[in-house]
Amino acid sequence: MVAEAVLKKIKQKKLSNLYSMETLLNDFSVGLFVMQAVILLIIILLMRKFAWKPILNALDEREGGIANALKSAENAKLEMQNLQADNQRLLKEARAEREEMLKEARDMKNKIIEDAKTEASDTANKLVAQAQASIESEKKAAIADLKSQVANLSLEIAEKVVRTELSNKDKQLQLVETMLGEKSLN
């Protein structure tokens, strides 16, 4: 009877103690703890030296490389854009220059034509003026000549007239009279 009760008690205790604090503490093995600490420490040190450091460095390097490549690609793109803009600008400039040159040429042509025209007209004017001047002077000379001839002719006529008139005394007086009458004393 007593033995049975004790057995039952043991059994119950065993069941409830399957994972009680007591079993937990009983299961804690100091030796295993020490072994684990030593092994873990060694593994950490070994892995750090031979695995993690080279792996992480390689990863960093690779990621740095990728980042750089992306950056330089971006830069190249920007440069390309700049280059294109430059080209565009150059083209524009060239076009403007051509325009300018064409305009200049056109202007020069016009100017030359203009100049030629003015020069020609100047020369013509000069020639006309010279001609006119010479015509004028010829005319003057002709008039002077005519005048002198008319004067000479008049003198000759007058001489002849006077000669004929002065041969008669009455007539001479009559002439004086008419002349005096004409030239009233005023």
35 binds another protein (CB under 8 A): yes
Which residues lie closer than 8 Å to 17 by C-beta, 6 or more apart?
Answer: 23
Nearest distance in Å: CB 75, another protein: 22
Nearest distance in Å: CB 32, another protein: 4
Which residues lie closer than 8 Å to 84 by C-beta, 6 or more apart?
Answer: none
Binding test (CB under 8 A) with another protein, winner from 20, 36, 123, 154:
36
Residue 141 corresponds to which tokens in the numbers above? Answer: 């000379």
55 binds another protein (CB under 8 A): yes
Residue 45 corresponds to which tokens in the numbers above? Answer: 């040190």
| Interface stretch with another protein, choices 15-23, 102-110, 142-150, 164-172 (CB under 8 A) | 15-23
Q: Which of residues 73-102 bind another protein (CB under 8 A)?
A: none
13 binds another protein (CB under 8 A): yes
| Interface stretch with another protein, choices 47-55, 76-84, 133-141, 146-154 (CB under 8 A) | 47-55
69 binds another protein (CB under 8 A): no
Amino acid at 137: S
| Interface stretch with another protein, choices 43-51, 97-105, 120-128, 161-169 (CB under 8 A) | 43-51
Nearest distance in Å: CB 69, another protein: 11
Binding test (CB under 8 A) with another protein, winner from 44, 78, 85, 146:
44
Query: With helix as H, strand as E and coil as C, how does the chain read?
Result: CHHHHHHHHHHHHHHHCCCCHHHHHHHCCHHHHHHHHHHHHHHHHHHHHHHHHHHHHHHHHHHHHHHHHHHHHHHHHHHHHHHHHHHHHHHHHHHHHHHHHHHHHHHHHHHHHHHHHHHHHHHHHHHHHHHHHHHHHHHHHHHHHHHHHHHHHHHHHHHHHHHHHCCCHHHHHHHHHHHHHHCCCC
Nearest distance in Å: CB 79, another protein: 26
Residue 30 corresponds to which tokens in the numbers above? Answer: 């100091």
* Chain residues that interact with another protein, rule: CB under 8 A: 6, 10-11, 13, 15, 18-19, 24, 26-37, 39-40, 42-44, 46-48, 50-56, 58-59, 61-62, 65
